């Protein structure tokens, strides 16, 4: 501890957490803007939104929801593991989280490809023939799930770095605030999905 | 330069690091160096945008074409607006002076996240460069105005995407600065510095930071949606695909109105800092000023639709937004009254920073009162999108914050660079700026009232006399700005050495040498008194002669 304490004169985990929470706030507001857009258009075209939502496969959505929820659990467990000094267990749990994330993306990939193959994508003649409410619905579908997928990827990179930091000892039993931050970010990704899922898949 | 043998550590300007040359600056995590980096880059953008403004005024000298084509005028006001808003006034005071001063004022060694701080600056530079690059790409510079209103911003063939993306990155940079400042203020105040012992500039930064963090993501996502819509033709705001352009305006102003408080609050903070020093008096109503910053930040986030009174809102909606707009002027007015009360019976000492502050108070009051007029529904319908609005926002942003920035530059110049500036040229510059400013913008209120629309390169002959006055004003102002900057640059080299506390300030930054040492404080100070305690002390300022 002594050398570490000398170089890091002001290690302040409370402050680091505060910064992280503020950042998560901004992310929530970022998506908040999208939810406003969604709400406004849903209010304007209620029937067409319902109709369009039937096109989505609830099963795929449900599977992805379960995957993400489980991954939130594994990431939380990896923090507990590092707090107890179980380095390898912690790394393994993070690895599992990343694999879940990959599975989520693969699922998403097939879902999008299927939509595209049946001609539902921006500016497709198929879509342009549909009523305006449906065009908006699918526009939002692509934008919101796309932005979310981007966050999944960022989250994966963050977790990957946490894993490396554990291996090199930068994250350890005494100092794990970085992993906590990564975990929080991952929960955020999860929570946003929890909102997206019913809005696009369930209300139909 | 003679080498002075120092017992203490070297100052931040000359300190040796393991990096050499310019990379000792552009990769430095020292908040003071980052502040200077911001200052240099921001001033470059500012002067460029000023030149664009002066050229636009030249175009408006005569009806019809004077020096440029209509499309050039369109790209000029767009670029001028984008640069002034996103590259000058929003990062201006918080990023330059906030970075430099916040840790000094609260008795800390740096900000909470120094590396994040450097990242903010890099994002700022990348965003700025992107905006510049968009000028030279095929397609031509954006011509949408700084507001990027849809559907035009979706349809125009100019380089809107790089411009939007630049604004997005700049927003991200601004968020990171805000997040950093909030954490710093919460966690790093020196022992004894309670919330109500903080300098008022710090309070202003705190309120500003909250707006940066809470409002900027909304514009981020909105601009991103326009990008996506342009790139992939996704239907979101395009009315052809069922989208609602008015929704875009709502989202835009949900950020951009609070953003005007990002612009003005730090300026108000500077005034509260400078006034007590030169009036030699405790600031009148410290707590009220601090709370009014928070009140402005709060009410200010609920008034956005006053920019949209002509889009066809419900009458109830218009009424509420108009009322809230009246309300938000109360905390601003409270500040003005407190400042006047501070000056009253003070032992006023006229120095350059105070002169700029006095211009600020005068011009900000005009800007605020015309803002109130714009909040009146009937008046608003009449002058919406006219030169009245152009006059109003220049009075607030330039007459207010811009002059506040000039005050800050002169007030903290000795601290930042360890040199005094020459007083006489600065006073001449100030005089020209103030006169030029008012000659430039005051006629715009008449022009607007008479119906001269904004964003036009041409006008009817009956408006010409006002336009001529205004253009002459822009020349006077421009000369004033040049004198001010040349004077400061010369003083960098030739100025007298500045003492630690040239003005007799009471806040912590004046207790350390000018320029400050790398670690700011040899020992973290223990704060016992409030920031403007002039009551018990005879002040003996050590003015450098
Ligand atoms: C010498 C200084 C300046 C001059 C001569 C100047 C002049 C002008 C002119 C002629 C316009 C266009 C009016 C129109 O046709 O609608 C304009 C617009 C604008 N100016 Fe300035 N200005 C100056 C400084 C500033 C400053 C310091 C700021 C902000 C801090 C600023 C912010 C803006 C904005 C936001 C617009 C609106 C752009 C748009 O319509 O999209 N200007 N200015
Ligand atoms: Cu507003």
Per-domain residue ranges for chain A? 12-201
**Residue B252, phi-psi category: left (phi > 0), alpha (psi -120 to 50), beta (remainder):** alpha
Q: Quick one: DSSP state of residue B158?
A: S
- Picking from B2, B3, B32, the residue whose alpha carbon sits closest to that of residue B17 is B32
Residue A9, pLDDT score: 47
Cis, peptide link before residue A132, omega less than 30° from 0: no
Q: How confident is the model at residue A1 (pLDDT cuts 50, 70, 90)?
A: very low
Residue B342 to residues A177, B180, B231, B262, Cα–Cα distance (Å): 46, 32, 55, 25
Q: Chain B partners of A139 at a C-beta cutoff of 8 Å?
A: 234-236, 241
Q: Is B65 on the interface with A (CB under 8 A)?
A: no
Inter-chain contact B236–A140, Cβ cutoff 8 Å? Answer: yes
Q: Is B183 on the interface with A (CB under 8 A)?
A: yes
Ligand 2 centroid from CA B307, angstroms: 6
User: Quick check: B513 and B499 in contact, CB under 8 A?
Assistant: no
Q: How confident is the model at residue B2 (pLDDT cuts 50, 70, 90)?
A: very low
Span B33-544: which CATH code? 1.20.210.10
**Residue B219 CB less than 6 A away from ligand 1:** no
Inter-chain contact A132–B233, Cβ cutoff 8 Å? Answer: no
Inter-chain contact B221–A142, Cβ cutoff 8 Å? Answer: no
Q: Quick one: DSSP state of residue B237?
A: S
Nearest CA to ligand 1 atom 24: B50
User: Domain extents for chain B?
Assistant: 33-544
Q: How confident is the model at residue B535 (pLDDT cuts 50, 70, 90)?
A: low
Q: Chain B partners of A133 at a C-beta cutoff of 8 Å?
A: 242
Q: How confident is the model at residue B8 (pLDDT cuts 50, 70, 90)?
A: low
Indicate the class that CATH gives domain A12-201. Answer: mainly alpha
Q: Would you list the DSSP string of B84-145?
A: IIIIIIHHIIIIIIIHHHHHHHHT-SS-S-HHHHHHHHHHHHHHHHHHHHHHHSTT-S--ST
Q: How confident is the model at residue B15 (pLDDT cuts 50, 70, 90)?
A: confident
Angle at B249 between CA A191 and CA B314, to 5 degrees: 105
In our burial notation (b when 16+ CB lie closer than 10 A, e otherwise), range B392-429 reads bbbbbbbbbbbbbbbbbbbbbbbbbbbbbbeeebbbeb
Ligand 2 centroid from CA B376, angstroms: 13
Question: Phi and psi at residue B11, in whole multiples of 5°?
Answer: -75, 165
Residue A7, pLDDT score: 39
Question: pTM of the predicted model, to two decimals?
Answer: 0.92
Instruction: Compute the average pLDDT of residues A35-43.
Output: 94
Instruction: Compute the average pLDDT of residues A117-134.
Output: 88
How many percent of chain B have pLDDT more than 90?
69
Q: Would you list the DSSP string of B498-528?
A: P-S-SS---SGGGGS-SSPBTTS-SS-----
Instruction: Please provide the average confidence, as pLDDT, over all residues in chain B.
Output: 91
Inter-chain contact A136–B182, Cβ cutoff 8 Å? Answer: no
Q: Is A150 on the interface with B (CB under 8 A)?
A: no
Residue B510, pLDDT score: 93
Cis, peptide link before residue A163, omega less than 30° from 0: no
Instruction: Compute the average pLDDT of residues A39-44.
Output: 93
In our burial notation (b when 16+ CB lie closer than 10 A, e otherwise), range B300-323 reads bbbbbbbbbbeeebeeeebeebbe
Instruction: Compute the average pLDDT of residues B221-227.
Output: 94
- Return the ligand 1 atom nearest residue B145 CA: 41
Q: Chain A partners of B243 at a C-beta cutoff of 8 Å?
A: 136
Q: How confident is the model at residue A10 (pLDDT cuts 50, 70, 90)?
A: low
Residue B542, pLDDT score: 53
Distance from CA of B158 to the nearest CA of A (A): 21
- Return the ligand 1 atom nearest residue B263 CA: 30
Which positions ≥6 away from B296 have C-beta within 8 Å? Answer: B207, B261, B265, B328, B331, B332
User: Quick check: B534 and B281 in contact, CB under 8 A?
Assistant: yes
Instruction: Compute the average pLDDT of residues B466-472.
Output: 97
pLDDT tens track for B149-179: 988 999 898 999 999 999 999 999 999 999 9
Comparing CB atoms, the residue among B112, B175, B221 nearest residue A34 is B221
Residue B130, pLDDT score: 92
* Of B390, B393, B466, best ligand 1 pocket probe by most atoms within 8 Å of the beta carbon: B390
Task: Report how far residue B297's alpha carbon sits from residue B178's, in angstroms, rounded to the nearest whole number.
Answer: 14
Inter-chain contact A31–B187, Cβ cutoff 8 Å? Answer: no
pLDDT tens track for B324-382: 999 988 998 898 999 999 888 788 889 999 999 999 999 999 999 999 999 999 899 99
Nearest CA to ligand 1 atom 40: B145
The number of beta carbons lying within 10 Å of the beta carbon of residue B13 is 15
Which region among A184-193, B57-66, B290-299 has the lowest average model confidence (pLDDT)? Answer: B290-299
Inter-chain contact A41–B233, Cβ cutoff 8 Å? Answer: no
**Residue B445 CB less than 6 A away from ligand 1:** no
User: Quick check: B438 and B419 in contact, CB under 8 A?
Assistant: no
Nearest CA to ligand 1 atom 12: B77
Instruction: Compute the average pLDDT of residues B91-116.
Output: 93
Instruction: Compute the average pLDDT of residues B219-237.
Output: 92
Q: How confident is the model at residue B233 (pLDDT cuts 50, 70, 90)?
A: confident
Instruction: Compute the average pLDDT of residues B484-488.
Output: 97
Task: Report how far residue B134's alpha carbon sits from residue B124's, in angstroms, rounded to the nearest whole number.
Answer: 16
Instruction: Compute the average pLDDT of residues B223-238.
Output: 91
Residue B530, pLDDT score: 79
Instruction: Compute the average pLDDT of residues B81-99.
Output: 93
pLDDT tens track for B370-417: 999 999 998 999 999 999 999 999 999 999 999 999 999 999 999 999
How many percent of chain A have pLDDT more than 90?
73
**Residue B152 CB less than 6 A away from ligand 1:** no
Instruction: Please provide the average confidence, as pLDDT, over all residues in chain A.
Output: 90
Q: Is B222 on the interface with A (CB under 8 A)?
A: yes
Q: Which residues have CB less than 5 Å away from ligand 2 (the ion)?
A: B 257
Q: How confident is the model at residue A5 (pLDDT cuts 50, 70, 90)?
A: very low
B450: its two tokens: 């008479």
Cα Rg, chain A, nearest whole Å: 20
Task: Report how far residue B166's alpha carbon sits from residue B162's, in angstroms, rounded to the nearest whole number.
Answer: 6
The number of beta carbons lying within 10 Å of the beta carbon of residue B529 is 12
Task: Report how far residue A56's alpha carbon sits from residue A54's, in angstroms, rounded to the nearest whole number.
Answer: 5
Distance from CA of A89 to the nearest CA of B (A): 30
Task: Report how far residue B342's alpha carbon sits from residue B110's, in angstroms, rounded to the nearest whole number.
Answer: 32
pLDDT at position A2 over 90: no
Which region among B300-304, B362-366, B454-458 has the lowest average model confidence (pLDDT)? Answer: B300-304
Dihedral of CA atoms B311, B317, B318, B324 in degrees, nearest 10, equals: -130
Inter-chain contact A26–B213, Cβ cutoff 8 Å? Answer: yes
Ligand closest to the CA atom of residue B296: 2
Residue A78, pLDDT score: 95
Ligand closest to the CA atom of residue B163: 1
How many percent of chain B have pLDDT more than 70?
96
pLDDT at position B123 over 70: yes
Task: Report how far residue B388's alpha carbon sits from residue A190's, in angstroms, rounded to the nearest whole number.
Answer: 49
Q: Chain A partners of B172 at a C-beta cutoff of 8 Å?
A: none
Residues 350-379 of chain B whose Cβ lies under 8 A from any Cβ of chain A? none
Size of interface A-B (CB pairs under 8 A): 94
Angle at B457 between CA B456 and CA B459, to 5 degrees: 75
Stronger pLDDT, B105 or A3, i.e. the higher one: B105
Inter-chain contact A15–B188, Cβ cutoff 8 Å? Answer: yes
B191: its two tokens: 């022992």
**Partners of B453 in the β-ladder:** B386
Q: Chain A partners of B223 at a C-beta cutoff of 8 Å?
A: none
Instruction: Compute the average pLDDT of residues B268-274.
Output: 93
- Picking from B332, B343, B180, the residue whose alpha carbon sits closest to that of residue B267 is B332
User: Quick check: A36 and A196 in contact, CB under 8 A?
Assistant: no
* Rounded-to-5 percentages of helix, strand, coil across chain B: 70, 0, 30
Comparing CB atoms, the residue among A32, A136, A143 nearest residue B228 is A143
Nearest CA to ligand 1 atom 35: B81
pLDDT tens track for A144-188: 999 999 999 999 999 999 999 999 989 988 889 999 999 999 999
Q: Would you list the DSSP string of B56-96?
A: HHHHTTSSS-SSS-HHHHHHHHHHHHHIIIIIIIHHIIIII
């Amino acid at each position: 501890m002594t050398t570490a304490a000398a170089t890091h004169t002001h290690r302040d985990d409370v402050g680091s957490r505060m910064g992280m929470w503020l950042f998560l706030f901004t992310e929530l507001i970022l998506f908040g803007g999208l939810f406003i857009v969604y709400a406004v258009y849903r209010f304007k075209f209620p029937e067409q939104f319902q109709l369009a939502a039937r096109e989505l496969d609830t099963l795929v959505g449900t599977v992805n929801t379960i995957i993400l929820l489980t991954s939130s659990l594994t990431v939380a467990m990896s923090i507990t593991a590092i707090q107890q000094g179980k380095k390898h267990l912690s790394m393994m749990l993070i690895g599992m989280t990343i694999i879940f994330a990959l599975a989520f993306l693969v699922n998403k990939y097939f879902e999008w490809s299927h939509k595209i193959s049946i001609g539902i994508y921006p500016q497709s003649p198929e879509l342009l023939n549909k009523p305006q409410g449906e065009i908006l619905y699918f526009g939002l579908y692509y934008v919101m799930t796309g932005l979310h997928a981007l966050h999944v990827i960022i989250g994966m990179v963050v977790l990957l770095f946490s894993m490396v930091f554990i291996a090199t000892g930068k994250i350890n039993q005494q100092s794990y605030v970085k992993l906590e931050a990564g975990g929080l970010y991952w929960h955020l990704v999860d929570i946003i999905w929890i909102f997206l899922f019913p809005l696009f898949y369930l209300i139909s | 330069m003679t080498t002075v043998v120092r017992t203490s550590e070297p100052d931040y300007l000359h300190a040796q690091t393991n990096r050499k040359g310019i990379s000792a600056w552009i990769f430095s995590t020292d908040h003071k160096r980052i502040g200077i980096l911001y200052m240099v880059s921001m001033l470059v953008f500012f002067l460029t945008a000023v030149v664009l403004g002066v050229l636009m005024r030249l175009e408006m000298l005569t009806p019809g074409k004077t020096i440029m084509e209509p499309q050039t005028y369109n790209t000029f006001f767009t670029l001028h607006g984008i640069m002034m808003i996103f590259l000058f006034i929003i990062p201006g005071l918080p990023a330059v002076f906030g970075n430099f001063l916040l840790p000094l004022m609260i008795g800390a060694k740096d900000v909470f996240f120094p590396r994040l701080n450097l990242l903010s600056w890099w994002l700022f530079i990348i965003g700025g460069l992107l905006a510049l690059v968009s000028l030279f790409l095929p397609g031509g510079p954006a011509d949408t105005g700084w507001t990027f209103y849809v559907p035009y911003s979706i349809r125009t063939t100019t380089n809107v995407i790089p411009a939007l993306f630049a604004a997005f990155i700049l927003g991200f940079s601004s968020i990171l600065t805000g997040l950093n400042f909030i954490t710093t203020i919460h966690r790093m105040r020196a022992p004894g510095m309670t919330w109500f012992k903080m300098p008022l500039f710090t309070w202003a930064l705190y309120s500003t930071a909250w707006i940066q963090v809470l409002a900027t993501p909304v514009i981020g996502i909105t601009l991103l949606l326009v990008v996506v819509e342009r790139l992939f033709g996704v239907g979101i705001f395009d009315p052809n695909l069922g989208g609602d352009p008015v929704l875009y305006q709502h989202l835009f102003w949900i950020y951009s109105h609070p953003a005007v408080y990002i612009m003005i609050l730090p300026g108000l903070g500077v005034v509260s800092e400078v006034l007590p020093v030169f009036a030699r008096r405790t600031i009148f109503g410290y707590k009220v000023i601090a709370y009014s910053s928070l009140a402005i930040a709060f009410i200010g986030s609920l008034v956005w639709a006053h920019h949209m009174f002509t889009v066809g809102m419900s009458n109830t909606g218009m009424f509420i937004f108009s009322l809230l707009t009246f309300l938000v002027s109360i905390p601003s007015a409270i500040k003005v009254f407190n400042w006047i009360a501070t000056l009253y019976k003070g032992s006023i000492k006229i120095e350059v920073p105070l002169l700029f502050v006095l211009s600020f108070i005068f011009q900000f009051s005009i800007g605020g009162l015309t803002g109130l007029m714009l909040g009146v529904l009937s008046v608003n319908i009449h002058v919406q999108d006219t030169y009245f609005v152009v006059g109003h926002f220049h009075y607030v942003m330039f007459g207010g914050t811009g002059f506040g920035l000039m005050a800050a530059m002169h007030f903290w110049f000795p601290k930042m660079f360890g040199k005094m500036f020459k007083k006489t040229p600065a006073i001449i510059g100030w005089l020209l700026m103030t006169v030029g400013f008012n000659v430039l913008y005051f006629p715009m209120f008449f022009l607007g009232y008479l119906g001269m629309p904004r964003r036009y390169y041409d006008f009817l002959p009956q408006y010409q006399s006002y336009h001529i006055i205004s253009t002459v004003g822009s020349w006077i102002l421009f000369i004033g700005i040049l004198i001010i900057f040349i004077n400061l640059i010369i003083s960098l080299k030739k100025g007298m050495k500045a003492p630690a506390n040239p003005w007799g300030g009471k806040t912590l930054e004046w207790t350390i040498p000018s320029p400050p040492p790398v670690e700011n404080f040899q020992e973290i100070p223990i704060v016992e008194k409030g920031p403007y305690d002039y009551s018990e002390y005879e002040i003996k300022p050590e003015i450098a002669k």
